[in-house]
Structure 1
Amino acid sequence: MLEKAKIIVQSSPTKTIPVMYNPTELSLNKTVLAAGEGSNVQFQRVVDDDLTVNLFFDTYDSKSDVRKYTDQIAALTKPTAGTGMRREPPTVVFSWAGALFTGMVVKLEQKFTLFLESGVPVRAELRVTFKSILTPQQDLASRGYANCRQFWTVAENDRLYLIAQHTLGDASLWRLIADANAIYDPLNFPTPADIGKTLVIIDVHGESYNPPARV
C-alpha cells in the first residue's frame, strides 16, 4: 500500500492532516553558517533551510468543495499557540515514511484551478513553506556544542566570573561565556529565568582541560 505523506499538528491532542497526493519531489537542505575570513573562519551553526512542498488536491469526482481539505492547511498559518502577547502558528511535522521536517508554516500560496458551475472550487495547488523549529537540545547540537568540552547548569548563586574560573581556570574569560550564550545583561545574571538553564562552555584552550569537581 502506498505510504501517504501527512502533516502532524503538535497540539493537544495531536491532529493529522492527510495529503491527498504525495509530492513528486522534496529538497531537504542545510546551510553551514560561518564567520571570519581566510585562515580565521569559524563554524557557528548548521541551519535547516526552509522546506517548500507543492501539494495537489482534487475533489472533482465527488463534486465536493476542495476547501474542505485546503482550509485545514490554511489554518496552520493562524496564531493559535503561545501565551500572553506572544502568539505563533502551531508547530507541525511533515511526515512521509517517518518524520522529515519539524517547523511552522510561514508561507502558503493557494491556486484554485477548476470549479463547478456553481463556482465551488474542486481542484487546488498549494505551495507550502515550513520554517524549522528546534528543541533546545537540537539547537545545541546544530551549533556544534555537543562537540564542546563541557556544559554548566545555572544555579541560584552562580556568577559568570565564578563559572569562568571554575570551568576555564580564568575568571577574566567570563565575557566569552556571556557571548557564547547570548547573555546580554551579565550584571543581573542569573535572573530567575536563567536558573536551571544549560550554558555552553566553549573550548578556549585547544586541548582538554579538566576543572575541579563542583561543590
Structure 2
Amino acid sequence: MAQELAKATVTLLDGRESGREITVLFNPAEYSVEYSASFQETAAPGLSNPILQFVNGNAQVLSMDLFFDTWTSGSRANVIDATRPLTDLLSIDGTLHAPPRVRFQWGVFQFVAVVERISQRFTMFRSDGTPVRATLTVTFKQYRALAEQLEEPRRNSADKTKRRVMESHDSIWLMAAREYGEPRFWRVIARANDVDDPRRIEPGQVLVLPPLSADQRREVDDAAGTA
C-alpha cells in the first residue's frame, strides 16, 4: 500500500487567527537551514590578525522555494489569491502589533519562526496578463521566547570565575581581550592575582580571571580617561 504524501504546512501560533493552518500547494523540492554566530574583532599590537571574541549566537534561518500553479489545476484563477495566505504573514496583526509567530512543519521537521522575507516571482500569465504560476522564495527566522532561552544551562562566560595558564606566547593584555573583549581590562586580572608588574608573569603561572562587574568596568574606564 502506497504511503500517503505528507504536505508541508504553516500554522499561525498567535494573533487573531491563531491555530489557522496553511497547506502548501506543492511541497518544496528542497530547503536550507542556516546557522551563524557573531564575533567581535579586537586589534592587538604585534598580531597579524585580530582577536575574535564570541558575542552571541544568531537565530537560525530556514529558506525554501514554494511553487504555485492555478493553470494546470484547471481553475486558471489569479495565482495571487493562492499565495496571499503566505504573504499576509508579513502583515502586522492588530492584537500583537507585529506579524504572528508561525510553525513550519513537514513530516517530522518543525521550525518555529517568524516570516522574515518573501520574494514572489510570476512565471506564467493568461492572455489578459493575469498571473497563474508563481514561485515564492520564503525566509523564516527562528523565534525563541526569552523565558525559554533563560531556562537553558548557562555556558562558560565572563560572568564566572575562571583559571587560565599563562603561555610563553601569551600576555595579560591578550588574555583580557579574549575573556573580557578589551585589552584594557588587564588591570582586573592583575589585581585579582596580586601582579605588580604584568610584564614579569612567568609562563606556566595560573591566573584567576574573576567576573567583570559593572563597577570594575567603570573603574577601568575612569582610569583610561585620566591616563
- Identify the TM-score tier after normalising by the shorter chain: 0.5 to 0.7
The runs of at least 4 consecutive aligned structure 1 residues that moved more than 4 Å come to: 36-42
Q: Which runs of 5+ in 1 are unaligned?
A: 150-171, 179-215
* Compared CA separation, residues 28 and 81, structure 1 to 2 (3 A): farther
Q: Which amino acid aligns with 1:62?
A: G
Aligned residues: 152
**Root mean square deviation of aligned Cα:** 3.3
Q: Which amino acid aligns with 2:141?
A: K
Task: Return the TM-score normalized by structure 1.
Answer: 0.58
Task: Return the TM-score normalized by structure 2.
Answer: 0.55
Distance 1:46 1:106 in 2: 18
Distance 1:35 1:41 in 2: 6
SS in 1 for 2:58: strand
Distance 1:75 1:4 in 2: 20
SS in 2 for 1:28: strand
Q: Which of residues 6, 24, 27 in structure 2 aligns to 1:19?
A: 24
Distance 1:78 1:63 in 2: 27
Distance 2:126 2:75 in 1: 7
* Compared CA separation, residues 140 and 46, structure 1 to 2 (3 A): farther
Q: Which of residues 101, 105, 108 in structure 2 aligns to 1:95?
A: 105
CA positional deviation for 1:19: 1.0
Q: Which runs of 5+ in 2 are unaligned?
A: 43-48, 158-210, 218-227
Q: In the alignment, is residue 48 of structure 1 matched against residue 59 of structure 2?
A: yes
Q: Which amino acid aligns with 1:120?
A: T
Distance 2:147 2:41 in 1: 26
State the Cα deviation string for residues 93-136 of structure 1 (Å, max 9, x = none). Answer: 11111353222222211122222234332211111122222111
Distance 1:16 1:57 in 2: 17
Q: Which of residues 9, 13, 33 in structure 1 aligns to 2:12?
A: 9
Q: Which of residues 192, 196, 214 in structure 2 aligns to 1:175?
A: 214
Q: Which of residues 65, 69, 73 in structure 2 aligns to 1:58?
A: 69
SS in 1 for 2:85: helix
- How many percent of aligned residue pairs carry the same amino acid? 29
Q: Which amino acid aligns with 1:126?
A: L
* Compared CA separation, residues 99 and 79, structure 1 to 2 (3 A): farther
Q: In the alignment, is residue 136 of structure 1 matched against residue 146 of structure 2?
A: yes
SS in 1 for 2:154: helix
Distance 1:104 1:40 in 2: 34
Q: In the alignment, is residue 31 of structure 1 matched against residue 36 of structure 2?
A: yes
Q: Which amino acid aligns with 1:50?
A: V
Match of 2:84 in 1: 71
CA positional deviation for 1:22: 1.2
SS in 2 for 1:139: helix
CA positional deviation for 1:14: 0.9
CA positional deviation for 1:36: 5.2
Q: Which amino acid aligns with 2:214?
A: R
Distance 2:20 2:33 in 1: 24
Q: Which amino acid aligns with 2:5?
A: L
> Contact 1:63–1:116 at 8 Å: present in 2 too?
no
* Compared CA separation, residues 140 and 42, structure 1 to 2 (3 A): farther
User: Which structure would you say has the larger Rg?
Assistant: 2
Distance 1:43 1:29 in 2: 18
* Compared CA separation, residues 139 and 34, structure 1 to 2 (3 A): farther
Distance 1:25 1:69 in 2: 21
